């Protein structure tokens, strides 16, 4: 049993008949080149996206390092103020 093709289906390109061998080779090479170009384009796009991601991560890494350094400075300052406060409290109680 063979099924009939519905009328609403249209072919993008009619298959060519009776092509010579050089014409078939030319068409094959065109298809091969198109596929290769598509793959190369995808690789280039992927590499550029990877470069953007790496740059963003490096920027975040630097930002985090700066935040960490500021926190360390604040910690040191708090410790210093805390130890200075203890010293001044001791001297105040000693003078009484």
Dump the DSSP string for 62-76: HHHHHHHHHHHHHHH
Rounded CA separation 69/75 (Å) = 10
Give me the residue label for tokens 């049993």: 1
In a domain, 64, yes or no: yes
Structural domain span for residue 77: 58-84
**What sign does the CA torsion over 18, 23, 24, 27 have?**
negative
Say if 10 falls within a structural domain.
no
pLDDT given for residue 25 in this prediction: 87
27 touches 19 (CB < 8 A): yes
The structural domain count of the chain equals 1
26, pLDDT greater than 90: no
Structure tokens at 78: 């708090």
What's the whole-model pTM score?
Answer: 0.49
Decide: 24 and 15 in contact? Cβ < 8 Å. no
Tell me, yes or no, whether 1 lies in a domain: no
Assigned domain for 78 exists: yes
Inside any domain, residue 93: no
**Structural domain includes residue 62:** yes
pLDDT averaged over every residue in the chain: 81
pLDDT at 27: 86
38-59 per-position pLDDT tens digit: 888 999 999 999 999 999 999 9
Q: Indicate whether 92 belongs to any domain.
A: no
Taking residues 61-68, what's their average pLDDT?
Answer: 96
């Amino acid at each position: 049993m063979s099924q009939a093709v519905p009328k609403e289906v249209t072919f993008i390109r009619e298959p060519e008949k009776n092509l010579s061998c050089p014409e078939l080779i030319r068409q094959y090479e065109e298809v091969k080149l198109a596929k290769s170009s598509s793959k190369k384009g995808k690789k280039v796009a992927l590499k550029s996206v990877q470069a953007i991601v790496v740059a963003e991560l490096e920027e975040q890494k630097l930002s985090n390092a700066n935040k960490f350094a500021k926190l360390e400075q604040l910690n040191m300052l708090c410790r210093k103020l805390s130890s200075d406060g203890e010293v001044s409290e001791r001297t105040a109680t000693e003078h009484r």
